[in-house]
């Protein structure tokens, strides 16, 4: 696929990607939809108003001129696929429509350094799964011992909890150290104050494009048609608050103070070439959870930390999304199997993604084994959990033969409790 805009081999945004996001500029502060291409953002609202998408959108107006992608997402996977074809055609070296139209190009092709990314979606509901077997096993061993690491339900259903959509924030938003109630094992009474065990969680999430009616479950083999695309997620967690509060109803204030997402949503079409074989599920899930395809996505994941002292970011973990035990279609089928309805813009996250060994664990809790094995950083620094001033960055990409389909990054800096 030849694009008239040159992209570097390690660029996350070649013509094979074309993710969707919302951005604004100084010249035009109205948030609007764009796609990333190399170092540029292509303003889709300008292309729309110039009639490039009229064949697909028909009489619909201003699909890309909104401050979120929800209307576009609600139009379904066929519309999305058709828009992708048009975009790849517009950007192709053989097509003069944009390539040789200087005035149009100046209007719609904007250097990304001049753009500020905005929240891409108005999120109605947010659910966080717990779908990495390695993560669930690690946490289980730490809290319950090796014999009872996985709860009896874990291999039979994708465990999850309902999070808060209100505190999902865009990459780059500072994370204020939350306060809460904790209780040390040897203390008689709980105490209140800033969390001392602030952690990140390496996750990915997917957005619902088209939902389902109440009482009308989404079957597992139709689930992908309802999914718009994926983002990187950091589910910030306060381990000491979590430990005291989670019995018996699960995570609450230890989780809902902030969840960061990356600004670009990578579509399932862009991820399609990177399907790989999924881990074997044993025991076989119940029929409603049996996927038609036996695939996972091969997405390389990197977590790095930058402290106030460190000169360059330090890699904390290298993982891969293909380690997930439950896939996105199973998660969505399970979430709706009781009739629960999804709506356009709902966010469903994977849960912490951990690989088979310490170099691929997805949280400080696991990397430092509850703080008992601190991470050694350059210049004699070490970390058990995150300190004020630390900046965490998660990035992910699929590696093609001579190109990447990437997610950009999700980052956040810890600032002191107020
Ligand atoms: Ca989580």
pLDDT tens figures, 144-172: 889 889 999 999 999 999 999 999 999 99
pLDDT tens-digit map of 244-261: 999 999 999 999 999 999
Say how many Å lie between the CA of residue 52 and the centre of ligand 1: 40
| CA 392 to each of CA 241, 305, 363: distance values in angstroms, whole numbers, following the listed order | 20, 5, 11
pLDDT confidence bin for 292, thresholds 50/70/90:
confident
Say how many Å lie between the CA of residue 17 and the centre of ligand 1: 27
Q: What is the mean pLDDT of residues 92-110?
A: 96
Say how many Å lie between the CA of residue 235 and the centre of ligand 1: 5
Which domains are present in the chain? 20-118 (2.30.30.230), 126-415 (3.90.850.10)
Q: Is the pTM of this model over 0.85?
A: yes
Say how many Å lie between the CA of residue 36 and the centre of ligand 1: 28
Neighbours of 93 (CB within 10 A): 12
| CA 28 to each of CA 25, 43, 53, 108, 113: distance values in angstroms, whole numbers, following the listed order | 5, 11, 22, 12, 14
Bigger pLDDT: 311 vs 17: 17
pLDDT tens-digit map of 195-240: 999 999 999 999 999 999 999 999 999 999 999 999 999 999 999 9
Say how many Å lie between the CA of residue 15 and the centre of ligand 1: 32
Active site (catalytic) residues: 135
Work out the end-to-end distance of the chain between its first and last CA atoms, rounded to an integer number of angstroms. Answer: 51
* Residues in a beta bridge with 25: 115
Provide the pLDDT for residue 134: 96
């Amino acid at each position: 696929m030849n694009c008239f805009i040159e992209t570097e081999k390690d660029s996350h945004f070649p013509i094979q990607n074309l993710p969707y996001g919302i951005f604004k500029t100084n010249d035009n502060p109205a948030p609007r939809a764009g796609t990333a291409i190399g170092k540029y953002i292509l303003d889709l609202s300008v292309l729309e108003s110039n009639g490039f998408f009229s064949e697909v959108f028909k009489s619909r107006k201003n699909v890309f001129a909104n401050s979120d992608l929800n209307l576009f997402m609600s139009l379904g996977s066929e519309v999305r696929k058709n828009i992708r074809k048009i975009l790849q055609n517009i950007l192709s070296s053989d097509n003069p429509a944009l390539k040789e139209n200087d005035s149009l190009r100046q209007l719609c092709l904007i250097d990304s350094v001049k753009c500020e990314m905005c929240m891409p979606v108005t999120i109605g509901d947010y659910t966080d799964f717990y779908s990495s077997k390695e993560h669930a096993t690690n946490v289980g061993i730490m809290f319950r011992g090796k014999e009872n690491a996985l709860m009896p339900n874990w291999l039979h259903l994708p465990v999850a909890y309902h999070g808060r959509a209100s505190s999902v924030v865009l990459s780059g938003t500072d994370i204020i150290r939350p306060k809460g109630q904790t209780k040390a094992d040897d203390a008689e009474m709980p105490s209140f104050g800033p969390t001392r065990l602030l952690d990140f969680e390496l996750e990915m999430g997917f957005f619902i494009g088209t939902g389902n009616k109440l009482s009308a479950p989404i079957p597992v083999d139709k689930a992908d048609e309802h999914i718009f695309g994926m983002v990187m997620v950091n589910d910030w967690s306060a381990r000491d608050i979590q430990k005291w509060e989670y019995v018996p109803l699960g995570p609450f204030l230890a989780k809902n103070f902030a969840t960061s997402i990356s600004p670009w949503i990578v579509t399932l079409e862009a991820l399609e070439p990177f399907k790989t074989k999924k881990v074997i599920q044993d025991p076989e899930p119940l029929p409603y959870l049996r996927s038609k395809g036996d695939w996972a996505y091969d997405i390389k994941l990197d977590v790095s930390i930058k402290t106030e002292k460190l000169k360059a970011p330090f890699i904390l973990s290298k993982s891969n999304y293909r380690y997930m035990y439950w896939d996105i279609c199973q998660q969505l089928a399970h979430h709706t199997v009781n009739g629960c309805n999804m709506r356009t813009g709902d966010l469903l996250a994977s849960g912490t993604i951990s690989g088979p060994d310490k170099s691929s664990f997805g949280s400080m809790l696991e990397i430092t084994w509850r703080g008992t094995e601190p991470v050694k950083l350059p210049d004699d620094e070490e970390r058990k959990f995150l300190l004020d001033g630390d900046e965490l960055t998660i990035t992910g990409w699929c590696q093609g033969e001579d190109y990447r389909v990437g997610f950009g990054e999700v980052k956040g800096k810890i600032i002191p409790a107020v």
